[in-house]
């Protein structure tokens, strides 16, 4: 969360890809879950609201969403762009806590699960691209989609989910955050969520467009498709499928699980 974010882009850019993927998908959420316990179990919402701590967290979460998204534009290194987008994603989760609304907290808990699939897939795709091509710069990835179609298709699915396109995972979490904002009497936050989705699309979609359409002449890239190790692609495909069909799970158990967690607190 801004202003405690300075370590994150450098750490993710320097870390081995499996470590970055695991950190983003799992470890990044521990602070969010800990803050839920602090707000609800340690102090209680009435005490938090009386002191106005939720308003401080609300401002910092909004700043994190906008700052992370804007900084992601300036990054040519794929891992650093994903890291800055992670700051924005944490902002969504903290926003749901700060609103002190049951619907918003459902959005936070659901986003914790949805983000694990979406961002874990993206980091693993970045790792597969680096291992097979040695490329880390987005500007160098023209035509990579023609060489590695499965990898870039998985990345694209995760990107569509990250933007919040229905019926993909993040749409459900943003929908509940919007409902929570309305429930808390702050409907203008819905505009922020729409703006942030446009920002997400603006720095995610050009990566896929450049990979598939940025090089029209095959002579500008290797004509032969790269042979990928099948086992390396298994987690990428699983996470991409999870980002795509998580909302279609039988009996909608992920959303019901999030609601069960929230019902414990409200």
What residue segments make up the domains of the chain, in order of their start? 15-265
Residue segments in the chain with a per-residue pLDDT below the cut of 50: 218-221, 223
- State the pLDDT at residue 197: 92
- Whole-number Å distance between alpha carbons of 198 and 200: 5
Query: What's the pLDDT at 160?
Result: 92
Q: What is the pLDDT of residue 244?
A: 81
Can you give the pLDDT at residue 134? 86
Other C-beta atoms closer than 10 Å to the C-beta of 7 total 9
Question: Given this model, what pLDDT does residue 177 score?
Answer: 95
Q: If you write DSSP's letter for every residue of 213-262 in order, what string do you get? A: HS---GGGS-SSPP---HHHHHHHHHHHHHHHHGGGSGGGHHHHHHHHHH
pLDDT at residue 66 in the model: 93
Residues linked to residue 77 through DSSP beta bridges, in sequence order: 137
Q: What pLDDT was estimated at residue 98?
A: 94
Non-local CB neighbours of 27 within 8 Å, separated by 6+ positions? none
What is the predicted pLDDT for the residue at 231? 78
Q: Is 24 left (phi over 0), alpha (psi -120 to 50) or beta?
A: alpha
State the chain's mean pLDDT as an integer: 87
| pLDDT score of 23 | 82
pLDDT at 228: 63
pLDDT at position 166: 85
Residue 205 parent element (H or E): helix 188-213
Phi then psi for 137, rounded to 5 degrees?
Answer: -90, 135
- Distance from first CA to last CA of the chain, Å, rounded? 25
| Alpha carbons 223 and 220: distance in angstroms, whole number | 9
């Amino acid at each position: 969360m801004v202003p405690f974010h300075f370590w994150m882009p450098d750490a993710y850019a320097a870390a081995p890809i499996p470590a970055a993927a695991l950190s983003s998908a799992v470890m990044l959420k521990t602070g969010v879950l800990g803050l839920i316990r602090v707000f609800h179990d340690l102090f209680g919402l009435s005490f938090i609201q009386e002191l106005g701590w939720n308003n401080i967290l609300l401002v910092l979460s909004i700043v994190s969403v906008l700052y992370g998204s804007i900084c992601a534009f300036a990054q040519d290194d794929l891992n650093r762009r994903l890291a800055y987008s992670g700051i924005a994603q944490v902002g969504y989760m903290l926003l749901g806590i700060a609103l002190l609304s049951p619907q918003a907290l459902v959005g936070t808990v659901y986003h914790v699960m949805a983000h694990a699939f979406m961002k874990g897939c993206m980091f693993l795709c970045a790792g597969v691209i680096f291992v097979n091509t040695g490329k880390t710069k987005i500007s160098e990835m023209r035509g990579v989609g023609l060489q590695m179609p499965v990898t870039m298709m998985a990345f694209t699915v995760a990107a569509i989910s990250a933007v919040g396109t229905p019926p993909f995972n993040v749409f459900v979490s943003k929908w509940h955050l919007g409902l929570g904002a309305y429930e808390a009497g702050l409907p203008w936050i819905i505009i922020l969520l729409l703006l942030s989705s446009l920002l997400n699309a603006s720095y995610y979609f050009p990566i896929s467009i450049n990979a598939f359409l940025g090089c029209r002449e095959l002579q500008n890239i290797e004509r032969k498709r790269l042979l990928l190790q099948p086992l390396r692609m298994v987690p990428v495909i699983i996470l991409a499928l999870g980002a795509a069909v998580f909302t279609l799970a039988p009996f909608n158990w992920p959303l019901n699980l999030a609601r069960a967690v929230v019902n414990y607190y409200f």
